[in-house]
Amino acid sequence: MSLTNINVRGYHIDLYGHVNNARYLEFLEEARWELLDKTVDRDKWHRQGIGLSVVNININYRRPAVMGDRLEIKTTLERIGRKSVVLKQVIAKTGDRRLVAEALVTFVIVNMKTLQAIPVSDEIRAELTAING
């Protein structure tokens, strides 16, 4: 599990005075990068010619966030399949812990030369399993 904090700034806000729905995707991506920085050896993956590609995001928006809110994004491993991995991400307001949004993000491991999905190796599975501690 990983926790990432985001301070809602003026440039995150849309015409309606709350965080624009597309910005949440950026918040979730920031949290995933932070998580991967902590758990996988991306340099080794690069040398091996493998990478990650998001193939699906399902997001449910629960309540708006506004300028000045501090958000906490919790990222956990939901499941690992043969070729895909699903992360669960939950965005809540820091302090009152009110749910703002939740998402399931599916990605695949890809061969960077062919851009084709490849099976999740035992070594990658072990690195990703460490996400939940």
> Taking a C-beta distance cutoff of 8 angstroms, is the pair 75, 32 a contact?
yes
Instruction: Fill in the amino acid letter for 33.
Output: W
14 is catalytic: yes
Residue in the structure block whose two tokens are 């758990």: 39
Question: Strand, coil or helix: what is 28?
Answer: helix
Residues assigned a catalytic role: 14
